[in-house]
Amino acid sequence: MTKHILTLIGIVFVNLSVFAQTAPFSIHLEALNIAGLGGIQAYAFGQHEGKWLIVGGRLDGLHRRQPFAAFDVAGNNNQLLVIDPQSQQSWTAPLTSLSVALQEQLSATNTEFHQEGNYLYILGGYGYHTATTSRITFDYLTAVDVPAVIDAVINGTSIAPYFRQISDPQFAVTGGHLKKINNTFYLIGGNKFDGNYNPMGHPSYTQVYTDAIRKFNLADDGTTITVSHLPTLTDATHLHRRDYNAVPQIWPNGTEGITVFSGVFQPAVDLPFLNSVDIDSISYAVNNTFQQYYNHYHCAVLPLYSAATREMHNVFFGGIAQFYDSSGILVQDNNVPFVKTIARVTRSADGTMAEYKLPVEMPSLLGAGAEFIPITSLPRFANEVFKLDDFPSDTTLAGYIYGGISSTAANIFFTNTGAQSSASSQVFKVYVIKNVTTAIDDLNEHSIGTLNLRVFPNPSNGDFMAQFYLKKSATTKITLYSIDGKKIDERVFTQLAMGENTYQRKIKNLHRGGTYILTIETPYEKATQKVIIEP
């Protein structure tokens, strides 16, 4: 089957309020304004005793399309930033006292990072390389002594003694994630991007996705870093992802894991993944029974687990997505715009997953490249998932969201001159409120279906294509109705093959145009989508 790259808008006809569910908790955001704090996105962070250490990232907004302007040096974050949200103070220190190799990686964007005790480990990242006067993906692992660096930055003393760096070609990754399961590190997904970005595929760069989960053990005695690589898991289809969200999980049986949510790009089409990948201490499994429609790019994520109900909740804050809600209607935009959506993906005790839109939204088109910075004194599992049942009160400050890209419009990529977005300086307090019986979240019914219906082009002149997935061979009925319920067209196909299927038809005699309803029905499932016919 031929797959097409599209830039057209579809509207999935679902009245989301029909599927409203009582929420296990609610989320409240409170703006925290820290005077003099600058904006940043796609950074790494560590923390100690409530103070944050911010490393790398970009000081500008969405990267521009022109190769000479995209990821320019002027937008590099070439200083260390310390923030104390309690006293609402911030401090900075330049990187110039460090080696060139350290300066380059520590001012890079989209590094992978993980804090283990006092040490923040930073891998890879994309940035300017002095020796080649170009941009590369760095192959370094850098260990940062977080408490010592925070003290040095605040007191204006030397930061140089508190950084150690090694190189390893396996660490040349940007746009992936570094997580842990038990005592093993997992470098998941991402790509190696060398050269100057351009959106047209001209030969100014090379790009190779890792398509992999690279596992390793790390020993660090404070002087020497020793890495022992373990067998790599490779999947050129399902692990071909970058700029996604990887979230630590507690499975229903109480063990640790990681879920890879969405990301870009599918191997055969420039659109986000809708499925997810679960990783445990042994292997990984692709979950095609769940589809994530909101929050496709990297954004701030809050993970919470309830041992009482054996439910794992993942709350995503804004960012970029192929779908968003508009007055109760799920809208598909293949330009993949900036969104305000705050959504929850919950894994139930039986292992099934579902997506819910929360009634609260980000205050603007904000969140891509932001981070959730947790309150570490709250009860958490070893893998940093919050113990929801053990929160000390009904209303708990769980952490903060800082930075990210703030956009002036949903779709700016094709007209971006650098003025349409910026790196946000905003900090939000994130409160989790339990025992609120009036809290209602909207179940996205499509997230638990398997048909994955898509219609394009939409709008059309009556000549359109419907694409859908069958989990097994089945008789399939495809019907087009007018908005008032009159049947316009119907086709029945017997024993369509399992997998992706395509239905293409030109509907005649719709000269006046209008809005129509397309349904696809099998013996086990039904999906409905709004189709707009132009006169």
Whether 499 contacts 425, CB under 8 Å? no
pLDDT value at 510 more than 90: no
* Spatial CA neighbour of 336 closest among 311, 378, 368: 368
Question: What was the pLDDT predicted at 7?
Answer: 32
Average pLDDT, the chain: 92
**8-state DSSP, 264:** B
Burial 393-420 (b: 16+ CB within 10 A, else e): eeebbbbbbbbbbbbeeebbbeebebeb
The dihedral through the CA atoms of 58, 59, 61, 66 has a sign that is negative
**If you average pLDDT over residues 402-430, what whole number do you get?**
96
**If you average pLDDT over residues 212-229, what whole number do you get?**
98
pLDDT value at 229 more than 60: yes
Higher pLDDT, 239 or 500: 239
pLDDT confidence band for 19 (50 / 70 / 90): low
Burial 493-503 (b: 16+ CB within 10 A, else e): eeebeeeebeb
Whether 107 contacts 78, CB under 8 Å? yes
| Helix or strand holding residue 492 (H, E) | strand 487-496
Q: Which residue has the tokens 């708990």?
A: 396
Whole-angstrom CA distances from 107 to 104, 111, 194 are 5, 10, 16
Give dist(CA 484, CA 376) in Å, integer: 55
Range in 176-190, 395-409, 419-433, 453-467 with the lowest mean pLDDT = 453-467
Range in 17-31, 51-65, 98-112, 309-323 with the lowest mean pLDDT = 17-31
**If you average pLDDT over residues 37-54, what whole number do you get?**
98
pLDDT value at 17 more than 70: no
Whether 513 contacts 482, CB under 8 Å? no
Backbone φ, ψ for residue 18 (5° rounding): -60, -30
Distance of CA 43 to the CA centre of its chain: 14
Tokens representing 320 are: 């970029």
348-357, 412-421, 495-504 — most confident range: 348-357
Question: What was the pLDDT predicted at 99?
Answer: 98
pLDDT confidence band for 163 (50 / 70 / 90): very high
Give dist(CA 453, CA 479) in Å, integer: 13
Rg (CA), the chain: 24
Question: What was the pLDDT predicted at 10?
Answer: 42
* Spatial CA neighbour of 433 closest among 50, 27, 16, 19: 27
Give dist(CA 329, CA 326) in Å, integer: 5
Higher pLDDT, 487 or 160: 160
Higher pLDDT, 417 or 306: 306
Q: Cβ–Cβ contacts within 10 Å for residue 30, how many?
A: 11
The percentage of the chain sitting over the pLDDT mark of 70, rounded to a whole number, equals 95
List Cβ<8 Å contacts ≥24 apart for 464-467.
Answer: 464/504, 464/505, 464/507, 464/531, 465/502, 465/503, 465/504, 466/502, 466/503, 466/504, 466/518, 466/520, 466/529, 467/500, 467/501, 467/502, 467/503
* Spatial CA neighbour of 418 closest among 64, 57, 39: 64
Burial class (CB in 10 A: 0-12, 13-18, 19+), 282: exposed
CATH architecture of 9-447: 6 Propeller (2.120)
Question: What was the pLDDT predicted at 1?
Answer: 28
Domain ranges of the chain: 9-447, 450-533
Question: What was the pLDDT predicted at 3?
Answer: 32
Residue 231: asked if its preceding bond is cis (omega within 30°), the reply is: no
pLDDT value at 21 more than 90: no
Question: What was the pLDDT predicted at 505?
Answer: 77
Written as one letter, the residue type at 374 is P
pLDDT value at 6 more than 50: no
51-60, 435-444, 477-486 — most confident range: 51-60
* Spatial CA neighbour of 112 closest among 264, 302, 246: 246
Range in 213-222, 318-327, 355-364 with the lowest mean pLDDT = 318-327
**If you average pLDDT over residues 270-279, what whole number do you get?**
95
3-class DSSP assignment, residue 519: strand
Question: What was the pLDDT predicted at 512?
Answer: 63
Correct CATH for 450-533 of 3.30.230.10, 2.60.40.420, 2.60.40.3080, 3.40.50.720: 2.60.40.3080
Whether 374 contacts 398, CB under 8 Å? yes
3-class DSSP assignment, residue 440: strand
Written as one letter, the residue type at 280 is D
Whether 176 contacts 188, CB under 8 Å? yes
* Phi-psi category of residue 153: left, alpha or beta, with phi > 0 → left and psi -120 to 50 → alpha: alpha
* Spatial CA neighbour of 433 closest among 45, 26, 62: 26
**If you average pLDDT over residues 203-229, what whole number do you get?**
97
Question: What was the pLDDT predicted at 325?
Answer: 85
Give dist(CA 281, CA 185) in Å, integer: 10
